[in-house]
Every structure is written in structure tokens, then in C-alpha cells.
Chains A and B, each alone.
Chain A
């Protein structure tokens, strides 16, 4: 493994690890706030228990997210010092703003987690709402910086150096809006479905447990709405890609030839040598329609671009297929849930539906990892699209496989501990049942493990 590959692997691994905790930091506060708000409205103690349970999970996930995020802020320089030297002045701004958003998030999470009996109920709920808002703001700022790497703006290039820098214009880059919306929705969808899956699993064993029914309802609402909105933001990104990153788009679709009325390929395995994507199901005019909203539009294929600016086509194409398939499955589950809830005027709880929710629970996280693979691998060989190659940005430090292996082992260990701790929390779930008589939906707690 050469040093460039080791640096890329370490960055990829650090990001893939951090993103799980980062999205949890964005979305779980929203869910615990909804639960707490329901408690204040209904005085149903089950909701309070739920808010407290979710807060515990949030605390664990947020702490790991905070420290792994610190690692990333240093790794920008430890691994890519030439990128930072070149781009820091242009794109440091959103990171500075993110610093303050993260500050707000950490401060009010401290108040939320430790302040149950120290501040008034309303102040407590407000603290939670600030955590949810500043978590979303943090995500927006960081994704803006990534969007700039895809569609760099806010400077002019003279002799390979940036001049006339405009950090605001850099933040307003063409990919920023689409990417931030896509990432926020992905966070809510992934966490909503993951949490819904856990509670659906427990409901399958204990069907009348009101605690899990409340939890499932909130998680499904958050995850389901986001999953249904996600295709719209994906369309926004498709439009952006067709204009600004045609190479990435061609790789995502396995489109080697420049074609009028290009088909949409489902599946298939792109082969760079023969410049074909065999074994794909082709939907005629589909790609032209999606990318340009015009079935006759010309889609530029990889053949239009020199080989040395192609990303690894097969990885990008397959990752994209995985993301879309996972997203589509989640949207389908959300649609079924919405339809049944509307028909029955209550939470759908049939056995097969709960099983479907359990099956869908990891899909959001799979989609996020696959989606970031598309974004990052699809931009290669560039670290700043069209401006700086990844190989030019890497540190002169050698022996980089040592930190790569070390961080990988540490992160595997931390992931295992987090899973174990969360599983322990889940196993201790409260048993709350409705009163047998009186059809009152206020829960009463009979037992805590």
C-alpha cells in the first residue's frame, strides 16, 4: 500500500465512521424533542421515558461523534496539508461557522442530558430544540465545504494560484444547496428507520407494549417523511451533476458513450477496458429524462474525457445503485406505512409490516455510506474538481499505513463497544401497557427491567 492510498484509506475510514455518529447527532435530538413535546402535551409518562431513553443513546453517539470529528479536523492537515494550504482561505469559512454551531450543540446537549431537574420543563425542551437545530446547522456547514470540492467557486485561477478570493461565493457554490438538503434528509431518514427497526423488532416480541408503539410512531414519521422527500433532492443533485460534474454522472450511470436519449441503467457491471456496462437493465431515454428532464437530451459519456480523469467507474456505479436501491426500498416502506396509517387511522402493526420495518432499518445507513462513496470516489482523481489532484494534496510524511491501521483498529473497537452499549440499553426496555379497561391510551408502567 503506497502512502497516497494509505492516506485516502485513512480519510475514507475516518469519514465513514464519523458520518454514522454525525447523522445520529443531527437526527436523534429531533426525535427526543418530539417525544418530550408529546409528554408536555399529553402528560403521558411513556413519552418522558422515551425521551430519556433516546437521550441516553444520543449521549453515547454524540460523544463518539465529537471526538471522531475532532480527528477529522486535524486529519485535513495531517493527511492533506497542500489542500489546506491552497484552499483554507477560500473554504475555511464554513468550518469556522461550524465551530460555533458545534459549540452551541455541545453546550445545550450538556444542559439537556444533565439538566432534567435543574431547568424548567420548557427550558429543557428548548435546549433540546437548540441541539436539534445546531446539529442540522453543523451538518449544513460541513457539507457546504464538501460541495465546494465538487463545484469550486469564489476565486480565479492565475498560474495555478487562487486570486480574487470570495469566501461567500465559495459557500454559495452550485452543489451546496442540493448536497445539504440531500444530506439532512438522509440523516433523518437513516436514523428514523434505524430507530424504527429497533422498536419494531421489540414490538414483534411484545406487541402491546405502548412504549415501543409510541417510539415506532415517532421514528417512522421522521424517517418516512424524509425518505419520501429524498428523491426530489436527488433530482436537484442530478441536474447539478449533469452541468458541473459530467464525468461523475457518467461513471454513476456506467455511461461510456455520448448519446442522445441515453437509457437509465439498473444494475450492470461497468468495464473500463471494453468501455461497456454489460448485464444492466436499460430503461430507454431514462437517463436523459432524469438528468436533463428531456428524453432527447444528449448525455456526455466517459469517452468524451481523457482516461486520466476517470474515477474508478465500477465502484462509483455500484455504490450509486446500492444507494438508490436502499432509498427506494425505504420510500416504499414509508409509502405503505402512510397508506395503512391513513386507512386504519392508527399505527400499522401487522406482523409482516413490522418485519418489513426491521428489514429496512439498516438501509438508511447503507445508503449514506454508498452515497458518500459516490460523491468522494466519483470526484477522483481530483480533491478539488478540475483544480487540484488528490495526489498533489497529500502529506510528504511516509509510513502512513501505520496511522491508518491504528485508527482502523481503534474505530472497530469503539464501534463494537457502542453497539454493545446500545444493545444493553435496548435490552433494558421498559414494559408499558395500556389499561385493560377504559381504553385510555395513557400508559402505565408495570415493570422496569
Chain B
């Protein structure tokens, strides 16, 4: 029988996975807005805005769910993370605020080119920066650099995250989000040439994902020793890594063969497996190497109540989400 701590951290991983697959792709959309180019520049941007518009606010709530679950069920871990990573998290919040606002302002401001471009630039630049900072925070909690000592400013608030490994994770996250977005947009596009644009972008970002995955793995040697050891020596790691690689290859092949729905499935599976591989290597740590899901857990009554709230909430949430995506994402491309 799984312990309640494992069940709830599993629920947090599920939320984080949805955030990556849905909210992450919205960030990726912003990246492709920034890099919109060629004769169909405007059409690319319109497709992105149309794809994100109805869903980005709902997609964004997955992150809030992770945060409230963390502070309700593992309060000391939340306190440590929010203290040590004050600087990158604050910068990430600035990114989130400006990005969401700019996207909405662009939709409701004048449709003249200069106005649209001004908000578009804020939206796309912050879409580039925010995922990096999110990845930096994730990299930092895996790196073993957060030690709960706050006497020296640089050691307490800067060195936990200002290091090659967290930044490699940050850019890895960015590459993954851009990849997801490009793959999804091949399905969303109703125009053949537009679909080709995003197909090429998806293939290019698949390469970036591979490069960054390798960089993260190599930097983990010194940057995140616990995670690296588990990713190379656990019994489950090779089946998982091979499955991830198979998904990556299948996604690239499907893109190559223009089987876009299939590509979308494999891309999402690849990102999910990467996240759960990280989750498995991180278990039972919330912050390597001191804080675990056991030594930071809230009293059992809180965990049980949250678990029931999660079940009840999911019964409400998943049908609603299904309805949302059915209304807006049905029947476009093949």
C-alpha cells in the first residue's frame, strides 16, 4: 500500500505534468511568437494566439495547484524553497504577471500593428524567460545546494541557483516547451504551409531538446550528484530511459512522416516520461539532500483531508477540462 505522502506527492507530480504539457506549451507558443518569421509571420502569430486564448488561464492553474499542495502538505519544504529561491522565483513571477497581462492587453487593445507588436514583444520575451526561471528553480531543488542556512547572503540566496546545472535545467525546460508547442501547433494549423512552418520548428526544437538533455545529464555529474546516481543506477532507470528515447525517436519520425497527431502523442509522452524520471530520481526528496516527503509532511489528518479534496476536486475538474478542450480543440487538422 502506498503511503499517503507518496500519494500526495504523486498528485503534485500529476499537476506538474499537466502544467508542463499544457501551460508549458503556452509558454512555448510565446517563444514561437517571438521567433515568428518568413512570409507567414502574421499567420503564425494569429494561430498561436487563437490556440492559447481560451485555455491559458485554466492551464496556468496547474502551477497554483502545485504551490498550494506543497504549502498545505509539506509546509517546511515550501518555506525552504521560497526562502532560498526568493530571487529566481520573484523574477519568474514578474515574468508570469507581464506575460499574462500583455497577452490579454494585446487581445483587447487597438489592432494597429505598432500597438499589437508592442504587447506581442512583452508577451513573447516573458514567455522565453519565465520557463527558464521555472527550470532553474527545479534544478536548484535537485542540486543539493539549498542547505537552510541564511547567515551569509550569497551562500543563502544566490549560490543555490546561480550555477551551471540549474540553468541547464532551465534551458532544457525551455526547449521542451518550445518543442511541445511546435508539435501541438502542427495539429492546430488548418493551413498546409503554416503546418509546414511548425513542422520545421518542431524538428529543430527536437534537436535542441536532445542537446539540452545531454547537457543536463553531463552537468549533473557535479551539479546534482544524488539525482545523477539514481538516474544511472536504479533498477527502473534503463527501462524508463529507453522508453523516453523511443518516444523521442517516434515523435521525430512522426513529424518527418507528417503524422501530426501521432507526433503530438509521442511528444507529450516523452515530456511526461522525462518529468517522472526526474520525480523518481528525486524520491523521496523534496529538496536534496535534507528535506523529504516524510520529514516535512503535515500531520496525517491534513494529508488525508487534502487527499479527499483532491479526489472530489478531480471529479469536478477533469470533466470540466474535457469539456473545455472538446469545445475548442476538436476537429481541426487530420
A-B complex is real: yes
* Contact assessment for A417 and B101 in the assembled complex, using a CB-CB cutoff below 8 Å: yes
What is the minimal beta-carbon distance from B299 to any residue of chain A, in angstroms?
5
Tell whether B305 is near chain A: CB-to-CB under 8 Å. yes
Q: Mark A91-109, 1 if CB is under 8 A from B, else 0.
A: 0110111111011101111
Which residues does chain B contribute within 8 Å of A92, judged by CB atoms? 68, 71-73, 75, 298, 302, 306
* Contact assessment for A59 and B328 in the assembled complex, using a CB-CB cutoff below 8 Å: no
Complex Cα distance, B309 from A166, in Å, reads 15
* Contact assessment for B71 and A88 in the assembled complex, using a CB-CB cutoff below 8 Å: yes
* Contact assessment for B94 and A406 in the assembled complex, using a CB-CB cutoff below 8 Å: yes
* Contact assessment for A107 and B58 in the assembled complex, using a CB-CB cutoff below 8 Å: yes
What is the minimal beta-carbon distance from B116 to any residue of chain A, in angstroms?
13
Tell whether A281 is near chain B: CB-to-CB under 8 Å. no
Interface size grouping (class) on chain B: 35 or more
* Contact assessment for A403 and B90 in the assembled complex, using a CB-CB cutoff below 8 Å: yes
Complex Cα distance, B100 from A63, in Å, reads 7
Complex Cα distance, B96 from A115, in Å, reads 25
What is the minimal beta-carbon distance from A81 to any residue of chain B, in angstroms?
4
Interface-lining segment among A72-80, A300-308, A345-353: A72-80
Asked, given contacts A85-B76, A397-B157, whether A74 binds B89 with beta carbons under 8 Å apart, the answer is yes
Which residues does chain B contribute within 8 Å of A397, judged by CB atoms? 83, 86, 150, 157
Complex Cα distance, B93 from A69, in Å, reads 10
Inter-chain CB contacts under 8 Å: number: 203
Complex Cα distance, B75 from A118, in Å, reads 43
What is the minimal beta-carbon distance from A368 to any residue of chain B, in angstroms?
21
* Contact assessment for A114 and B53 in the assembled complex, using a CB-CB cutoff below 8 Å: yes
Asked, given contacts A103-B61, A111-B324, whether A71 binds B104 with beta carbons under 8 Å apart, the answer is no
Which residues does chain B contribute within 8 Å of A66, judged by CB atoms? 57, 60, 100
State which residues 296-334 of B face A: CB under 8 Å: 298-299, 301-302, 305-306, 309-310, 313, 316-317, 320-321, 323-324, 327-328
A residues near B, CB below 8 A? 56, 59-60, 62-64, 66-71, 73-74, 76-78, 81-82, 84-90, 92-93, 95-100, 102-104, 106-111, 113-115, 118-119, 165-168, 395-398, 403, 406-407, 410, 414, 417, 421, 424-425
> What are 14 inter-chain pairs, A to B, with CB distance below 8 A?
A64-B101, A74-B82, A74-B93, A77-B83, A85-B76, A92-B298, A93-B309, A96-B68, A98-B68, A99-B68, A100-B309, A100-B317, A102-B64, A103-B65
B residues near A, CB below 8 A? 53-55, 57-58, 60-61, 63-65, 67-69, 71-73, 75-76, 78-83, 86, 89-90, 93-94, 96-101, 103-105, 107-110, 150, 153, 156-157, 298-299, 301-302, 305-306, 309-310, 313, 316-317, 320-321, 323-324, 327-328
